[in-house]
Amino acid sequence: MVVQIITRLALGGAQQIVYQLASRLKEDGEEVIVFTGYSSDETRESSNNDIILNKILKKKIKVKICKYFRNSISVGNDLLAVIWIYKNLKKLNPSVVHIHSSKTGVLGRLACKLAGVDNVIYHVHGWSFSRSNGLTKWLYIFVERIFFYLTNKYIFVCNQDIVDYVKYGGTKRIYDRARIIYPGVLHKSTKDDSFERALLRKELGLKKDDFVIGAIGRLDFQKNPLFFFKFAVKYSKINSNVKFLWIGDGVLSHDVKKFIQQEKLESKVILPGYISEVEKYFCVFDIFTITSRYEGLPVTAIKSMAVGVPVVGFLRNGMIDLDKKFDSFFGVDCEDMEKFISTISRLQVVIKEKSLNMDIEKNFIKDHWSMESMLDEIYDYYKQEAL
């Protein structure tokens, strides 16, 4: 039996991995149970939905809901969550416990230690200290340095997170317990996206010659959409032929729409909201952007490059890995508006001159960064842990 533990199952990269992994385990006849909590509107920093949870329930995958799981620190609820996890692990006696997300990463590993569960994998989708500052940052670093001794195996979505752990005083022995498994995506089988691209652009109200810059992601604190729309205000004055497209919804939706209205940007911006079957829309963009305050390694970047769309993103966590590995990823220092604008400007010229050839990288991503290959690697890791 495999137990997957994650704070909640709203829309996101880590949550998608839990869904795909649990589905694969169930299809292969393995017993799998997911421990999670419901989303809530307690914070404006993340999206309030249970989209992935509902997909898991629809597949009839076993789920146990812990009412004590919270995104933020809550001493009372956190203590009750540890007790809840401990009791359920003692009943189930799983062969492998696979823990995702920073909050349950701490609570889950502590409960596993108390319950005597030896085969524990902590899947790091980005560190808590990577998105914190000051005393809070150093508190999270201290906790992770201590919890190294409660963790026998790690999965990292990027090399940079291991580098950062050691940089901030963590033991180099983490390399002996770590495996880097880059996120995989479900690649489309079509070889030519030109017809679908034209169809979808027409559906969105775009003209054939519109140069489209944008993103697919939640409108929340992490994804930092207001930076993107501040960029849109400045860039629309430099280049009048550009349209700005953001597909997604979230707790900052009202703030974004208010900003667009205040800046009289309505004619330049398209906000279709949440689209359930969003995979096919990556080919719509000419340049894809990622302005997140923090990330593990965003699968949206992989999906974009896989269909020949270059990516401009902040150099955070896994995006540092992408910047080193791919010529079609263009890294910019976080919140550097001037560099962001100049990079987009240069890239737009290169694209229009058709001097950017992404075919080799497209094929490499499809061959090596697939959902199937990622799941195979995780499965192999499980087998080492007595599955």
Residue 333 has pLDDT above 80, yes or no: yes
Give pLDDT tens digits for 69-84. Answer: 988 888 899 999 999 9
135, 349, 101, 379: which is closest to 239 by C-alpha? 349
Give pLDDT tens digits for 298-331. Answer: 999 999 999 999 999 999 989 999 999 999 999 9
Residue 172 burial (10 A CB sphere; 0-12, 13-18, 19+): exposed
Q: What is the pLDDT of residue 385?
A: 56
Please report which residue ranges of 93-158 form alpha helices under DSSP H: 102-115, 134-147
Q: What is the pLDDT of residue 192?
A: 62
Extents of the domains making up the chain:
2-184+370-384, 194-368
* Phi (first) and psi of residue 80, to 5 degrees: -65, -35
Residues facing residue 273 across a β-bridge: 247
Q: Which residue has the higher pLDDT, 66 or 43?
A: 66
Mean pLDDT computed over 255-280: 94
Q: What is the pLDDT of residue 44?
A: 45
Common-topology check for domains 2-184+370-384 and 194-368: yes
Residue 88 has pLDDT above 90, yes or no: yes
Give pLDDT tens digits for 219-235. Answer: 999 999 999 999 999 99
Residue 221 C-alpha from the chain's centroid? 14
CATH architecture of structural domain 2-184+370-384: 3-Layer(aba) Sandwich (3.40)
The pTM of the full predicted model, rounded to 2 decimals, is 0.87
Q: What is the pLDDT of residue 240?
A: 85
CA 324 vs CA 41, 240, 317, 320, 331: distances in Å: 37, 32, 12, 6, 9
Residue 36 has pLDDT above 50, yes or no: yes
Q: Does domain 194-368 have CATH number 3.40.50.720?
A: no
Q: Which residue has the higher pLDDT, 175 or 39?
A: 175
59, 51, 50, 54: which is closest to 24 by C-alpha? 59
Residue 123 C-alpha from the chain's centroid? 13
Provide the terminal-to-terminal Cα distance of the chain, rounded to the nearest Å. Answer: 7
The kind and range of the H/E element at 271 are strand 269-273
28, 24, 23, 6: which is closest to 15 by C-alpha? 6
Q: What is the pLDDT of residue 189?
A: 61
Residue 47 has pLDDT above 60, yes or no: no
Give pLDDT tens digits for 197-208. Answer: 999 999 999 988
Q: What is the pLDDT of residue 95?
A: 92
Residue 386 has pLDDT above 70, yes or no: no
